[in-house]
Structure 1
Amino acid sequence: MMILNNLLLCVSFFMILSGIWSFISYRKHLLNSLLSLEFTMLSIFLLMVCFLSLVGQETYFTLFFLTLAACEGALGLALLVSIVRSHGNDYFNAFTSMEC
């Protein structure tokens, strides 16, 4: 069981780093950025679950964190729909501060 938790901790760290890398490198569309942020949040959730189960603590905080991540995702999608309706696309290059 200890080996499995250590493996899941390593996998979650790799997932966090790959999510941050995709957020930094793929900046053409807003949807790509939102998806990479959501992936990073879910990998942090996996890290928290593995760490708290390893330590033996209660996992109520992880449910609160998952709720906040779902609210963040819904807010990001609402922002995406609003931007697509006002600008017609989700390219970062199309956004200017004068139009908003």
Structure 2
Amino acid sequence: MTIFSIPFISGSFFMIFCGLWSFISYQKHLLNSLLSLEFMMLGIFWLMGIMMSGVGSEIYFCLFFLTLAACEGALGLSLLVFIVRTHGNDCFKSFNVLEC
């Protein structure tokens, strides 16, 4: 790791922190939560890419992580489409635990 990669590392930590902050503070809609989770995954992927390239180890782990993040995004979007079709919106306050 060189001195030039330190701003990129701090930027990725900032991305992860902003994604976590938006996930905690904006819980009105499901789409906001999914977007903040994807933003955190992007920050983690960026951090892993910087760390793996600095060490010189296998980059295939980053590709595996990116595949899992894409699967998580597809699963979240399918859940969002299902909820919008059954309930009519994606607001968390309109969900009822006792509904089927």
Residue 56 of structure 1 corresponds to 56
**Gaps spanning 5+ residues in structure 2: where?**
none
C-alpha RMSD over aligned residues: 1.1
Structure 1: distance between partners of 2:52 and 2:7: 15
Structure 2: distance between partners of 1:6 and 1:19: 20
User: Are 2:29 and 1:22 aligned?
Assistant: no
Q: Deviations over 1:81-100 (max 9, x none)?
A: 00000000000000110114
User: Are 2:24 and 1:31 aligned?
Assistant: no
Residue type matched to 1:71 in 2?
C
Residue 66 of structure 2 corresponds to 66
Residue type matched to 2:71 in 1?
C
Q: Deviations over 1:20-67 (max 9, x none)?
A: 000000000000000000000011000000011111112100000000
Number of residue pairs matched?
100
Q: Give the CA deviation at 1:4.
A: 2.4
Percent sequence identity over aligned pairs: 67
Q: Which runs of 4+ in 1 moved over 4 A?
A: none
User: Are 2:78 and 1:78 aligned?
Assistant: yes
Structure 2: distance between partners of 1:94 and 1:6: 44
Q: When the two structures are superposed, what TM-score results if normalisation uses the length of structure 1?
A: 0.96
Q: Give the CA deviation at 1:3.
A: 2.5
Residue 41 of structure 1 corresponds to 41
Q: When the two structures are superposed, what TM-score results if normalisation uses the length of structure 2?
A: 0.96
